[in-house]
């Protein structure tokens, strides 16, 4: 076990190691940190000695990480991020995030995912003034003066940055009332059921683990234009809908909605947070993104 004085040395050695890994050379790391190349080499040697393991395989032109080096590189990055976040938090202690932040997201993200996060951030930063725009249209960040956009599905090539938030896995659901008044729902008679259809589901197909496909279509299509209206329609017993499970976890848990044909699922789509910041997101937006990621994990059914 390391004594405290050794731990202090180890922390800085890990910061130096992180810079060497990121820069790809001792020379560039030395220039970045304001050390000599020999000093950088000395820090890495000390770190390897303290850990009693080899971290780097060095040649005249390249640096290759050992298996232990890969693990330590990950931990070193986490240490750098922790220190960076600490400095940001200290910097904002007397300069609390304030003013307007504008976020856009699809309607279905509002109630159970985004509003609780925004409420928590406003409790933490009382001078914050959020502006939330819920629309299923993709709004351009610059044209609409947005700080962040939550977007679903493939992204067009652009100069914006995309952070992966999570995945939407759509399932078939219906209300107990609809199920009770219907014959047994099977893959063979799905097209005879009343289906709640969203605009982007006109050519949707479902797939099971055997790779069998099932068309989400019917002669009785009840068309709605938002996911929230689709969920409300399904809960009222109007028909069967294809809805991402993350939006209806509470309804499934309470029995307001029930999954039908559970062996079939719709297309899995990625969810991104889009921004135009060149470097790290501002602290309050970074916290928002982190909390949204955690909410996605909690609410998957």
Digit-by-digit pLDDT tens for the chain (301 residues) are 445 556 678 888 999 999 999 988 899 999 989 999 999 999 999 999 988 999 998 776 778 899 999 999 999 999 888 888 777 766 665 567 778 999 999 999 998 899 999 999 999 888 899 999 999 889 999 899 999 999 998 887 678 899 999 999 999 999 999 999 988 999 999 999 999 999 988 788 899 988 889 999 998 999 999 899 999 999 999 999 999 999 999 999 999 999 999 999 998 999 999 999 887 788 899 999 999 999 888 766 5
CATH superfamily of 99-166+270-299: Periplasmic binding protein-like II (3.40.190.10)
Q: How far is CA 44 from CA 38, 82, 136, in A?
A: 10, 21, 51
- For strand 258-259 and strand 161-174, is the pairing parallel, antiparallel, or unpaired? antiparallel
For the chain, give every residue range classified as CATH 1.10.10.10.
4-81
CA count, 13 A, side-chain hemisphere, 148: 26
Residue spans in the chain of domains classed CATH 3.40.190.290: 168-268
Q: Which pLDDT value is given to residue 1?
A: 46
SS3 37: helix
Q: Which tokens in the block code for residue 171? A: 């399932």
Q: DSSP code of 111?
A: I
- What does residue 86 show for φ and ψ, rounded to 5 degrees? -60, -45
The contacts of residue 121 (CB under 8 Å, 6+ apart) are 128, 130, 284, 287, 288
Q: Model-level pTM?
A: 0.65
168-268 topology per CATH: D-Maltodextrin-Binding Protein; domain 2 (3.40.190)
Give the pLDDT score at 9. Answer: 82
The whole-angstrom distance between residue 83's C-alpha and the CA centroid of its chain comes to 22
Residue 255 Cα distances to 248, 249, 299, angstroms: 11, 10, 15
The domain made up of 4-81 has a fold known as Arc Repressor Mutant, subunit A (1.10.10)
> Which regions of the chain carry the CATH code 3.40.190.10?
99-166+270-299
Give CA angle at 85 (80, 86), nearest 5°: 100
Integer Cα distance of 49 and 43 in angstroms: 10
Other Cβ atoms within 10 Å of 55 Cβ, number: 24
Residue 190 near residue 234 (C-beta atoms within 8 A): no
């Amino acid at each position: 076990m390391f004594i405290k004085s050794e731990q202090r040395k180890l922390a800085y050695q890990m910061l130096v190691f992180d810079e060497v890994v990121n820069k790809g050379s001792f020379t560039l790391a030395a220039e970045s940190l304001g050390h000599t190349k020999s000093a950088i080499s000395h820090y890495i040697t000390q770190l390897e000695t303290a850990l009693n393991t080899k971290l780097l395989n060095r040649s005249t032109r390249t640096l290759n990480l050992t298996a232990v080096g890969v693990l330590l590189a990950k931990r070193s990055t986490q240490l750098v991020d922790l220190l960076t976040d600490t400095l940001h938090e200290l910097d904002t202690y007397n300069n609390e995030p304030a003013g307007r932040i504008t976020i856009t997201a699809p309607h279905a993200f509002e109630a159970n995912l985004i509003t609780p996060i925004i409420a928590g951030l406003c409790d933490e930063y009382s001078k914050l003034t959020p502006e939330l725009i819920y629309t299923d249209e993709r709004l351009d960040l610059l044209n609409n003066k947005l700080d962040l956009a939550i977007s679903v599905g493939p992204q067009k090539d652009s100069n914006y940055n995309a952070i992966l938030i999570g995945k939407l896995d759509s399932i078939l659901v219906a209300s107990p009332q609809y199920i009770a008044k219907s014959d047994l729902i099977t893959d063979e008679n799905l097209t005879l059921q009343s289906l709640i259809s969203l605009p982007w589901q006109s050519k949707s197909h479902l797939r099971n683990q055997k790779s069998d496909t099932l068309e989400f279509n019917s002669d009785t299509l009840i068309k709605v234009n938002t996911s929230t209206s689709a969920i409300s329609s399904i809960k009222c017993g109007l028909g069967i809908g294809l809805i991402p499970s993350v939006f209806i976890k509470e309804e499934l848990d309470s029995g307001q909605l029930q999954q039908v044909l559970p062996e079939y699922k719709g297309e899995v789509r990625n969810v991104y947070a889009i921004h135009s910041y060149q470097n790290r997101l501002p602290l309050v937006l970074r916290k928002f993104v982190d909390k949204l990621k955690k909410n996605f994990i909690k609410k998957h059914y």
